[in-house]
Amino acid sequence: MKIPVWCLMPLLPLASTFAQTAADPYQWLEDVTGDRALTWAREQNAITKGELEASPDFKPIHDRLLAILDSTARIPEVSKRGPFYYNFWRDAQHVRGIWRRTSLAEYRKPEPAWETVLDLDTLATTEKQNWVWKNANFLYPNYDRVLIDLSHGGGDAVVVREFDVTTKQFVTDGFNLAEEKSSIDWRDRDSVYVGTNFGAGSMTTSGYPRIVKEWKRGTPLAEARVVFEGEVTDVASSGFATDEPGFHREFVHRTPAFFKSINYLRVGDKLVKLDLPEDVRQGTFHEFITIELRSSWTVGGKTYPAGALLASPWEKFLAGSRDFAVLFTPGARTSLASHQATRHHIIVNELDNVRNRLFVLTPQPDGSWSRTPLPAPEFGSIAASGVDNESDDYWFTVTDFLTPTSLYLGALDRPERELLKQLPAFFKADGLEVSQHEAISKDGTRVPYFQVARRGLVLDGTAPTLLNGYGGFEISMTPSYSGGRGAAWLEHGGVFVLANIRGGGEFGPTWHQAALKANRQHAYDDFIAIAEDLIARRVTSTPHLGILGGSNGGLLMGVMLTERPDLFGAVVCQAPLLDMKRYNHLLAGASWMGEYGNPDLPEEWAFISRYSPYQNVKPGVKYPRILFTTSTRDDRVHPGHARKMAALMESQHQNVLFYENIEGGHAGAADNKQQAYMNALAYAFLLKQLK
């Protein structure tokens, strides 16, 4: 089932804006494209470029990173649609990228022959637009039409244009939408569900569609029929269809808050509200409804634990039965990483102490489900997903910090898997080893972390060490191969550490909920405990310990900076939230109040204020050197967060660096050159500060 990810743009409440202007002398930096703010950003960029580009590490790292990003030896990830395998690809010759396709027989070859479907560089030149590829939504079952999302400069707001993959042309009178944070999905060939800015009152205070309409081909958008209206204070509402062989269902999804949803099944012209807790993830698999619980649920005389995966025949569920098959039950250190469907099975991916285990679940005639292990390596990050919903073929990937990613093609009716693609070794991993450790947090919780270091590392506290974390939104941090990290950090003698702090999903919903709202400090205490453990183990010491994080991880960096300035030698803070007093009034912030709380409520500002970095910078404190990076085109996390924090610290005579990329969106970069440059700045900064 298609679950939208709401990274949204709230409307700015004017009363709140005016009330706080006097209290915030740097609020003018929230004017994203204002001349004064952009002049300030460009001046800061010049200072940062002048210092870091002069570093002897910068150019070799930059050139190496760009070569890795542009390498034609990278694995071209594909999606099967009909007979074709589609891929979007960027390299030195295709800066903005090409959308292309091939056959399975060709894909098996070391150098497949690709057929170009859409060349974004040509399109950008022809239309004089800085197009960035976002998404392609195919029409089932012929897969000849597609709704393509294109962004100006990489932001979340997109232009939607219908495209014919047979003629390789845009459909001029098709389903086309102007730039907005819209939602659109095929209902059938001649109608779509659409939510967009229809005019006054049609968007929520989070800046996403409140109204879902059915739009028929050949009619003006203004004549589209209203199917559903959510509340103005919701995060969003959307309509969409799911298609599997023999099964077509249509849904409306209302999101009153980030971790809450109210789901409706459309039957004819009637919407049937599904009787479910609002914090579940609801899906569909053929004749079954699937339900992933975020909290425990007592129903039908049974209690199902948070983190469980349940299934029931749709017919019985709609008739009132609440007798579920339990497809997964969490344990103290086990959680559900994902579940993916093939034609006849569901592949369940479990995390056991942050290590993957795979199982194949199959419905049986008696209503039970069989459970069979899917063989996989003992170590590394493992993923499996159906190639499509018309076969039991599946993609299987294996990766870890030191082993280049391998892509296999398997089928659930045979044991062997075919190795299709493997990354080359982009850095020298000889002599490196991965180990897993635990730190004890302030409240006694055991918090795991991974360490990548030289075998036989001398424990004298001098190793340059980079600690990375996120700790939010139930996102798990698992091992993965990064040629850039290896080339720019590990080859330079650095130690890399990945933290599995609370707020993430490593141990299921309860691990996430342990750091929600008033409990946010738990995530920060966990990160501090890992840093202190690295120092206690003599892996590193404060002058050699650096930290890096982005988005919610950027907030983590800001909190570490202000709470424990004595603990770290350098900080890289990317696309961060930092002003937690105003975050819910800036771009997507209002949609995240389920994670952080509402700072406009005094009782919630009371706990947010204790860690909000922008409000906790103090004159006279010696802070570690910090590099802030952001993007002007980030329409998810407002660039004003990084701008204001840098300006405030600079006014207090702190030695800070700031760099703002003009394009890039929340990812910070719109193409490989920009990504290589941004990453080279970060690594050159860290090597300069920590060696």
- For residue 690, give the amino acid letter: L
Please give the full DSSP string across 284-329, using - where no structure is assigned: EETTEEEEE-SS-EEETTEEE-TT-EEEEEHHHHHTT----EEEE-
pLDDT on residue 46? 97
- Mean pLDDT computed over 482-496: 98
pLDDT on residue 12? 27
pLDDT on residue 10? 29
Residues belonging to the active site: 551, 666
Asked whether the predicted pLDDT for residue 475 surpasses 70, the reply is: yes
| Residue 262, φ and ψ in degrees, nearest 5 | -120, 120
pLDDT digits (tens, 9 = 90+) for 591-643: 999 999 999 999 999 999 999 999 999 999 999 999 999 999 888 899 999 99
- Mean pLDDT computed over 197-214: 94
Task: Write the secondary structure of 367-384 as one string of H (helix), E (strand) and C (coil).
Answer: CCEEEEECCCCCCCEEEE
Alpha-carbon gap, residue 399 to 409, rounded angstroms: 15
Asked whether the predicted pLDDT for residue 483 surpasses 70, the reply is: yes
Asked whether the predicted pLDDT for residue 316 surpasses 90, the reply is: yes
pLDDT on residue 546? 98
Record the tokens describing residue 128, joined without a space. Answer: 């004089």
pLDDT on residue 669? 66
Give the C-alpha distances (Å, rounded to integers) separating 367 from 307, 326, 571: 22, 11, 54
pLDDT on residue 9? 31
The residues with which 147 forms a beta bridge, in sequence order, are 137, 162
pLDDT on residue 459? 97
pLDDT digits (tens, 9 = 90+) for 119-156: 999 999 999 999 999 999 999 999 999 999 999 888 88
Record the tokens describing residue 259, joined without a space. Answer: 């971790």
pLDDT digits (tens, 9 = 90+) for 94-126: 999 999 999 999 999 999 999 999 999 999 999
List the single range of 4-18, 168-182, 481-495 with lowest mean pLDDT. 4-18
Q: What is the mean pLDDT of the chain?
A: 94
State which H helix or E strand residue 193 sits in. strand 191-195
Task: Report the percent of the chain where pLDDT is more than 90.
Answer: 92
pLDDT on residue 663? 65
pLDDT digits (tens, 9 = 90+) for 221-266: 999 999 999 999 999 999 999 999 999 999 999 999 999 999 999 9
Alpha-carbon gap, residue 374 to 380, rounded angstroms: 15
- Mean pLDDT computed over 308-316: 98
Alpha-carbon gap, residue 26 to 582, rounded angstroms: 12
Q: What is the CA radius of gyration of the chain?
A: 25
Contact status, residue 668 vs residue 675, Cβ threshold 8 Å: yes
pLDDT on residue 665? 61
Give the distance from CA 92 to its chain's centroid.
26
pLDDT on residue 21? 41
pLDDT on residue 359? 97
More confident call, 202 vs 377: 202
pLDDT digits (tens, 9 = 90+) for 524-575: 999 999 999 999 999 999 999 999 999 999 999 999 999 999 999 999 999 9
How many C-beta atoms surround the C-beta of residue 638 within 10 A? 26
